[in-house]
Structure 1
Amino acid sequence: MRRAVARRLAKVAVLSAGVVLAGMMPKQGHADNLADALIGAYNTSGLLEQNRALLRAADEDVAIAVSALRPIIDFTVRVQRALVNNQSNNLVTETRTSTFFSGFELTQLLYDGGASILAKQAAQETVLATRQSLLQVEQSILLRAVSAYMDVLLQEENVVLRQNNVRVLGEELRASQDRFEVGEVTRTDVALSESRVAAARANLADAQGALTTAKAEYVNAVGRDPGRTAGQPRLPRHPASISDAVAIAVRNHPSILSVQHQVKAADLTVDRQRAALGPTASIRADVGITNTFGNSNYNNTASAGLVFRQPVYAGGRLAATIRRAMATRDSVKASLLNTQKDVIQAVNQAYVRFETAQANLRATDERVRAAQVAFDGIREEATLGARTTLDVLTSEQELLDAQTSQIQARAERSLAAYQLLSAQGLLTAERLGLAVQIYDPTLYYNLVKGAPAQVSKRSKDLDRVLEALGKK
Structure 2
Amino acid sequence: MRGFFAAAAVAVSVLAAPMAQAETLTDAFIAAYRNSNLLDKQAATLRAADEDVAQAMATLRPIVDFAINSGYSRSQQTASGRFTDGIRTTFDLSAQLTLLDFGRRAIRIEIAKESVLATRELLRSVEQDVLFAAVEAYVDVQVNQQLLALRESNVRLVTQELRAAQDRFEVGEITRTDVSIAEARLAAARAGLAAAEGNLMVAREAYKAATGAYPRTLARLPASPSLPASMEAARTVALRTHPAILGAQRRVTINELGVELQKAGFKPTVSARAGVGINDAGAESQSFGLSLNQRVYSGGAQASLLRQSIAQRDGARADLAQAGVQIAEGVGNAWAGLTIANAQVQAGDRQIRAAQTAFDGVREEANLGARTTLDVLNAEQELLDARVTRIQAEAQRYLGVYRVLATMGLLSVEHLKLGIPTYDPAAYYNAVKSAPVHSAQGKKLDRILEKLK
- Interval of TM-score (by shorter of Structure 1 and Structure 2): over 0.9
Question: Counterpart of 1:74 in 2: which secondary structure?
Answer: strand
Correspondence 1:54 to 2:45:
yes
Which deviates more from structure 2 when the two are superposed, residues 50-59 or residues 178-187? Answer: 178-187
Of residues 424, 445, 449 in structure 2, which corresponds to 1:466?
449
Correspondence 1:164 to 2:153:
yes
Give the counterpart letter for 1:469 in structure 2. Answer: L
Alignment: residue pair count: 440
Give the counterpart letter for 1:445 in structure 2. Answer: Y
Match of 1:16 in 2: 5
Cα gap change, 1:431 to 1:316, in 2 (>3 Å): same
Match of 1:32 in 2: 23
Question: How many Å separate the matches in 2 of 1:77 and 1:307?
Answer: 25
Correspondence 1:226 to 2:215:
yes
Give the counterpart letter for 1:310 in structure 2. Answer: Q
TM-score by length of 1: 0.89
Match of 1:85 in 2: none
Match of 2:245 in 1: 256
| Superposed displacement of residue 328, structure 1 | 2.0
| Superposed displacement of residue 304, structure 1 | 1.5
| Superposed displacement of residue 393, structure 1 | 0.7
Give the percent of matched residue pairs that are identical in Structure 1 and Structure 2.
45
- Kept after mapping to 2: 8 A contact 1:39/1:435: no
Question: How many Å separate the matches in 1 of 2:258 and 2:69?
Answer: 36
Question: How many Å separate the matches in 1 of 2:339 and 2:225?
Answer: 14
Match of 1:403 in 2: 387
Which deviates more from structure 2 when the two are superposed, residues 100-109 or residues 220-229? Answer: 100-109
Question: How many Å separate the matches in 1 of 2:367 and 2:165?
Answer: 11
Match of 1:426 in 2: 410
Match of 2:62 in 1: 71
| Superposed displacement of residue 377, structure 1 | 1.9
Correspondence 1:330 to 2:343:
no
Question: Counterpart of 1:236 in 2: which secondary structure?
Answer: coil
Of residues 191, 197, 221 in structure 2, which corresponds to 1:202?
191
Question: How many Å separate the matches in 1 of 2:186 and 2:32?
Answer: 40
Match of 1:273 in 2: 262
- The one-character-per-residue Cα deviations of 1:228-251 (angstroms, maximum 9, x if unpaired) are 222444222122111111101001
Give the counterpart letter for 2:409 in structure 1. Answer: G
| Superposed displacement of residue 71, structure 1 | 1.4
Give the counterpart letter for 1:333 in structure 2. Answer: R
- Kept after mapping to 1: 8 A contact 2:341/2:396: yes
Match of 2:136 in 1: 147
TM-score by length of 2: 0.92
Question: How many Å separate the matches in 2 of 1:80 and 1:307?
Answer: 30
- Kept after mapping to 1: 8 A contact 2:275/2:287: yes
Question: Counterpart of 1:450 in 2: which secondary structure?
Answer: coil
- The one-character-per-residue Cα deviations of 1:377-436 (angstroms, maximum 9, x if unpaired) are 221222222222111111100100100101110111112111111000001111111243
Question: How many Å separate the matches in 1 of 2:420 and 2:166?
Answer: 59
Give the counterpart letter for 2:312 in structure 1. Answer: T
Give the counterpart letter for 2:65 in structure 1. Answer: D
Question: How many Å separate the matches in 2 of 1:392 and 1:30?
Answer: 42
| Superposed displacement of residue 290, structure 1 | 4.0
Alignment of 1:19-418 (within 5 A): 19-24=8-13, 26-77=17-68, 101-290=90-279, 297-418=281-402
Match of 2:75 in 1: none
Give the counterpart letter for 1:359 in structure 2. Answer: A
- The one-character-per-residue Cα deviations of 1:248-268 (angstroms, maximum 9, x if unpaired) are 100100010011011111111
| Superposed displacement of residue 298, structure 1 | 4.1
Question: How many Å separate the matches in 1 of 2:90 and 2:333?
Answer: 72
| Superposed displacement of residue 373, structure 1 | 1.6
Give the counterpart letter for 2:442 in structure 1. Answer: S
| Superposed displacement of residue 103, structure 1 | 1.8
Match of 2:76 in 1: none
Question: How many Å separate the matches in 2 of 1:78 and 1:337?
Answer: 59
Which deviates more from structure 2 when the two are superposed, residues 147-156 or residues 62-71? Answer: 147-156
- Kept after mapping to 1: 8 A contact 2:11/2:147: no
- Kept after mapping to 2: 8 A contact 1:126/1:265: yes
| Superposed displacement of residue 326, structure 1 | 2.0
| Superposed displacement of residue 79, structure 1 | 8.0
Question: How many Å separate the matches in 1 of 2:376 and 2:112?
Answer: 72
- The one-character-per-residue Cα deviations of 1:420-461 (angstroms, maximum 9, x if unpaired) are 110000011111112432111100000011111112x22111
Give the counterpart letter for 2:230 in structure 1. Answer: S
Cα gap change, 1:374 to 1:32, in 2 (>3 Å): same
CA RMSD, aligned part only? 2.2
Question: Counterpart of 1:281 in 2: which secondary structure?
Answer: strand
Question: Counterpart of 1:311 in 2: which secondary structure?
Answer: coil
Question: How many Å separate the matches in 1 of 2:272 and 2:45?
Answer: 35
Question: How many Å separate the matches in 1 of 2:271 and 2:7?
Answer: 85
Question: How many Å separate the matches in 1 of 2:427 and 2:345?
Answer: 46
Which deviates more from structure 2 when the two are superposed, residues 130-139 or residues 237-246? Answer: 237-246
Question: How many Å separate the matches in 1 of 2:443 and 2:191?
Answer: 64
Question: How many Å separate the matches in 2 of 1:440 and 1:280?
Answer: 38
Question: How many Å separate the matches in 2 of 1:438 and 1:231?
Answer: 26
- Kept after mapping to 2: 8 A contact 1:368/1:402: yes
Give the counterpart letter for 1:51 in structure 2. Answer: Q
Give the counterpart letter for 1:437 in structure 2. Answer: P
